[in-house]
């Protein structure tokens, strides 16, 4: 059985909790794109775990966590995470990295930071070197995990080839003087190579074999569908494909037999960084939602921009992903509101209506949402585990979203804990 579980909005939909919820029924949990730009927070009892690279499903005993070829790996960050988890649970022999995954190098992070701070149209990246690392991958200048196990000479050659032009750029265009040398970077890689050797494998083969003997495999998406490099709000996107087909590409599983694609969808909308956000609330209400939803980035700590649910955007991303069911999260954050608005369409400047998510920035920036007003329920839903126990207006809200999305909302999360889930 293969499941793909991913976010349908701009990230931060509460994926970690959902993945942790599903993982108990799976043998493998797989990351297939992105890198340490992701931040997945899981609460187990009193303990809080923040994951950036390792699939959060690893917290379940017996689950193997696999980082696929589609990921760009910050090795030091990865090792820190292994240490963090190992303090709480035994993960030996349960974490794997693809030999074909690309390494995020110090110059990728320097370039990401320099570009962001010295341009007039910053993307608001996490500055984790993600864009430059993927750029090197497609430019055939990337260093892959398997390269670390060749020889120091070969590795130095690769570092030299990748760094030469960037060194010139960093020094002469971005005026950054403190740069690592080729020798230093090669030496560091040689040390890191020994530390990650036990984790490196031809993970596509592992997965193919596991699938062949009918193991259950869960793909864990990072970021969100509206940050996809092709279908998101380009150029205000991340540098990978975040949507469901990327699970096959970014893992090499070799089978398109996917049993379920679950879209994790927040009951309202948030976005971090720059870029269009038609239903954004720039007032006190946005602030109120930010506070009650604790909407601050788990990777960068940045306050997330908050707004109403955008059914046009979410219907668009659900279609692109082939979403079969929705897992609605953070419904309880709306508990205290008098009215809850839902964007059901857009209005162009000329007054004409639009019911599809537009491709270009000028269109996205110009449109105004058309709202439907749903009465609030003004009661606590926190921790409710049975749909029938929800206040009538909360049920109506969920059912209204279902109609707009054309998909069943099969699960509703009502709190932090693993158990705070309504199954329908």
What track of x and - describes contact with ligand IMP for positions 266 through 295 (by CB under 6 A)?
------xx----------------------
Site residues for ligand IMP, window 122-161 (CB under 6 A)? 123-126, 128, 130-131
Strand partners, 372: 342
User: Residue written as tokens 């996107």?
Assistant: 237
Give the interface size with ligand IMP as a residue count (CB under 6 A): 19
Minimum distance of ligand IMP from residue 259's CB (angstroms): 25
For this structure, is 108 an active site residue? no
Q: Please say which residue, 14 or 415, places its beta carbon nearer to ligand IMP.
A: 14
Shorter beta-carbon distance to ligand IMP: residue 117 or 151? 117
Q: In whole angstroms, give the CA distance from residue 200 to residue 95.
A: 9
Which is closer to ligand IMP, CB of 206 or CB of 275? Answer: 275
In the bound state with ligand IMP, the residue whose beta carbon lies nearer, of 235 and 406, is 235
**Active-site option among 12, 136, 228, 310:** 12
Site track for ligand IMP across 173-212, x = CB under 6 A: ----------------------------------------
DSSP collapsed to 3 states, the chain? CEEEEEECCCCCCCHHHHHHHHHCCCCEEEECCECCCCCEEEEECCEEEEECCCCHHHHCCCCEEEECCCEEECHHHHHHHHHHHHHHCCCCCCEEEECCCEECCHHHHHHHHHHHHCCCCCCCCCCCCHHHHHHHHHCCCCCEHHHHHCCHHHHHHHHHHHHHHHHHHHHHHCCCCCCCCHHHHHHHHHHHHHHHHHHEECHHHHHHHHHHCCCCEEEECCCCHHHCCCCCCCCCCCCCCCCCHHHHHCCCCCCCCCCEEEEEEECCEEECCCCCCCCECCCHHHHHHHHHCCCECCCCCCECEEECEEHHHHHHHHHHHCCCEEEEECHHHHCCCCEEEEEEEEECCCCCEECCCCCCHHHHHHCEEEEEEEECCCCCCCCCCCHHHCCHHHHHHHHHHHHHHCCEEEEEECCCCCCCEEEC
**Which of the ranges 85-93, 118-126, 149-157, 326-334 carries the binding residues for ligand IMP, by CB under 6 A?**
118-126
The single residue among 11, 252, 293, 369 that binds ligand IMP, judged by CB under 6 A, is 11
Name the residue nearer to ligand IMP (CB basis): 124 or 180: 124
Span of 70-78, 121-129, 148-156, 386-394 interacting with ligand IMP by CB under 6 A: 121-129
* Residue (111 or 340) nearer to ligand IMP, CB: 111
Longest dimension (CA), the chain: 68
- Of the pair 275, 369, the CB lying nearest ligand IMP is at 275
Task: Please list every residue from 349 through 368 that binds ligand IMP, using CB under 6 A.
Answer: none
Identity of the residue, 126 or 317, whose beta carbon is nearer to ligand IMP in the bound complex = 126
CB contact set of 357 (below 8 Å; sequence gap of 6+): 312, 313, 316, 317
Minimum CB–partner distance for residue 125 and ligand IMP (Å): 3
Residues 214-253 that bind ligand IMP (CB under 6 A): 222-223, 227, 238-239
Which is the catalytic residue, given 20, 25, 40, 386?
40
Interacting span for ligand IMP (CB under 6 A) from 117-125, 281-289, 333-341, 368-376? 117-125
Q: Taking the complex as a whole, how short is the minimal distance between the CB of residue 45 and ligand IMP, in angstroms?
A: 24
Residues in the chain: 424
The site map against ligand IMP for 20-59 (x = CB under 6 A) is: -----------------xxx--------------------
The residue number with the shortest CB distance to ligand IMP is 273
CA neighbor of 126 nearest in space, from 115, 140, 137, 142: 115
Is 12 assigned a catalytic role?
yes
Active site residues: 12, 40
Residues forming the site for ligand IMP (CB under 6 A) = 11-12, 37-39, 123-126, 128, 130-131, 222-223, 227, 238-239, 272-273
């Amino acid at each position: 059985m293969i499941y793909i579980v991913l976010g349908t909005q701009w990230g931060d939909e509460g994926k970690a909790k959902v993945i942790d919820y599903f993982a108990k029924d799976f043998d493998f949990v797989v990351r297939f794109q992105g890198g340490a730009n992701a931040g997945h927070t899981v609460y187990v009892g009193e303990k809080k775990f923040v994951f950036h690279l390792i699939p959060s499903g690893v917290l379940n005993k017996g689950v193997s966590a696999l980082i696929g070829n589609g990921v760009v790996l910050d090795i030091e960050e990865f090792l820190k995470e292994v240490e963090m988890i190992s303090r709480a649970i035994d993960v030996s022999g349960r974490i794997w990295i693809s030999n074909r995954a690309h390494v995020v190098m110090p110059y990728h992070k320097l370039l990401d930071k320099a570009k962001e701070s010295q341009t007039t149209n910053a993307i608001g990246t996490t500055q984790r070197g993600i864009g430059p690392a993927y750029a090197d991958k497609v430019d055939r200048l990337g260093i892959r995990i398997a390269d670390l196990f060749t020889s120091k000479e070969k590795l130095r050659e690769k570092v030299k080839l990748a760094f030469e032009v960037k060194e010139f750029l960093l020094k002469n265009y971005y005026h950054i003087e403190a740069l690592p040398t080729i020798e230093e970077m090669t030496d560091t890689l040689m040390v890191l190579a020994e530390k990650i050797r036990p984790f490196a494998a031809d993970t596509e083969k592992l997965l193919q074999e596991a699938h062949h003997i009918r193991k259950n495999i869960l793909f864990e998406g990072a970021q969100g569908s509206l940050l996809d490099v092709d279908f998101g709000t380009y150029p205000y996107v991340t540098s990978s494909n975040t949507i469901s087909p990327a699970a096959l590409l970014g893992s090499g599983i070799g089978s398109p037999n996917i049993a379920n694609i679950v879209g994790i969808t927040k009951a309202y909308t948030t976005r971090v960084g720059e870029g269009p956000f038609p239903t954004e609330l720039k007032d006190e209400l946005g602030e109120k939602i930010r506070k009650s939803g604790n909407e601050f980035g788990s990777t960068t700590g940045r306050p997330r921009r908050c707004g109403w649910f955008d059914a046009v955007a979410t219907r668009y991303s659900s279609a692109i992903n082939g979403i079969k069911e929705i897992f609605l999260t953070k419904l309880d954050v709306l508990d205290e509101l008098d009215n809850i608005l839902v964007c059901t369409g857009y209005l162009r400047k000329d007054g004409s209506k639009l019911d599809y998510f537009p491709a270009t920035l000028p269109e996205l920036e110009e449109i105004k949402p058309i709202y439907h007003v749903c009465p609030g329920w003004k009661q606590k839903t926190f921790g409710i585990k049975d749909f029938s126990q929800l206040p009538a207006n909360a049920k109506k809200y969920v059912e209204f979203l279902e109609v707009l999305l054309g998909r069943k909302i099969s699960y509703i999360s009502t709190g932090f804990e693993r158990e705070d889930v309504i199954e329908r």
